[in-house]
């Protein structure tokens, strides 16, 4: 008798537990968790054994909750994206402050639906986290199809077009292909 099982998106995108990418991810995560432990404890030698145990446990849990995925980071494009993000944050933050302080400027809050090109998973979640840091837009949840419901401060602005441009830059910096169609 054949038993079939539905796989969630993280399982279909994850790597096998014994693949080189998973080992590299486990090592980097463990180093990060152990480093965080050292910072929290002031690198007290009496706490090293507990820190190693905590790092191993945290690494195991993180690999179970967020399996290793292939990231093709492009350092130069990532640096350009970070600079673009910082500039965009300043411009958008200034715009939000001006709209909040000047009653003559329009403030038409509402929701728009953005059809994301990234498939559900870690890279899309990363894009949503970045989007939530930009003033004036906040992802609120899924919409029909591959859509995202976005709250924005002015629905008359070209929010969807701006999000498409941001997503394209994010994909270039983080690597990976966008969904076609």
pLDDT for 25-42, tens place per residue? 778 788 888 888 888 878
Neighbours of 117 (CB within 10 A): 17
The domains of the chain are located at 9-65, 75-174
CA nearest 121: which of 48, 44, 15? Answer: 15
What average pLDDT does this structure show over 146-154? Answer: 87
User: Using one digit for the tens of pLDDT, what is the confidence trace for 89-133?
Assistant: 788 788 778 877 887 877 888 999 999 888 887 778 888 888 877
- H or E stretch including 114? strand 110-115
pTM: 0.55
Q: Which residues pair with 151 in a beta bridge?
A: 111, 138
Q: Which sign, positive or negative, has the C-alpha torsion 71, 75, 80, 85?
A: positive
Coil, helix or strand at residue 17: coil
Secondary structure class of 47 (helix, strand, coil)? helix
| Residue 26, helix vs strand vs coil | helix
Helices (H), the chain: 9-13, 20-41, 48-65, 75-101, 122-133, 159-174
Phi then psi for 17, rounded to 5 degrees? -60, -25
The whole-chain average pLDDT of the chain stands at 76
Instruction: Judge contact between 150 and 137, C-beta under 8 A.
Output: yes
Of residues 17 and 35, the one with the higher pLDDT is: 35
Q: Give the pLDDT band of residue 21 (cuts 50, 70, 90).
A: low
Q: What is the dihedral of CA 107, 109, 113, 114, to 10 degrees?
A: 50
Q: What is the pLDDT of residues 49-72, one digit of tens each?
A: 888 888 888 888 888 877 666 666
Report residue 159's pLDDT band, with 50, 70 and 90 as the boundaries. Answer: confident
Measured in residues, the chain has a length of 181
């Amino acid at each position: 008798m054949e038993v079939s099982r539905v796989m969630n998106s993280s399982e279909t995108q994850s790597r096998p537990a014994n693949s080189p990418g998973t080992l590299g991810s486990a090592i980097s995560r463990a180093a990060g968790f152990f480093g965080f432990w050292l910072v929290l404890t002031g690198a007290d030698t009496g706490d090293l054994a507990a820190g190693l145990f905590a790092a191993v446990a945290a690494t195991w849990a993180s690999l179970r909750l967020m399996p290793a995925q292939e990231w093709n980071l492009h350092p130069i494009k990532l640096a350009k994206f970070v600079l673009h993000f910082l500039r965009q944050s300043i411009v958008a933050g200034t715009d939000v402050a001006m709209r909040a302080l000047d009653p003559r400027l329009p403030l038409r809050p509402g929701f728009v639906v953005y059809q994301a090109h990234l498939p559900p998973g870690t890279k899309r979640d990363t894009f949503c986290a970045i989007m939530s840091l930009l003033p004036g837009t906040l992802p609120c949840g899924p919409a029909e199809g591959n859509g995202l419901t976005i709250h924005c401060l002015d629905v008359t602005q070209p929010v969807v077009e701006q999000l498409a441009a941001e997503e394209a830059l994010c994909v270039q910096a983080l690597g990976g292909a966008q969904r076609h169609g």
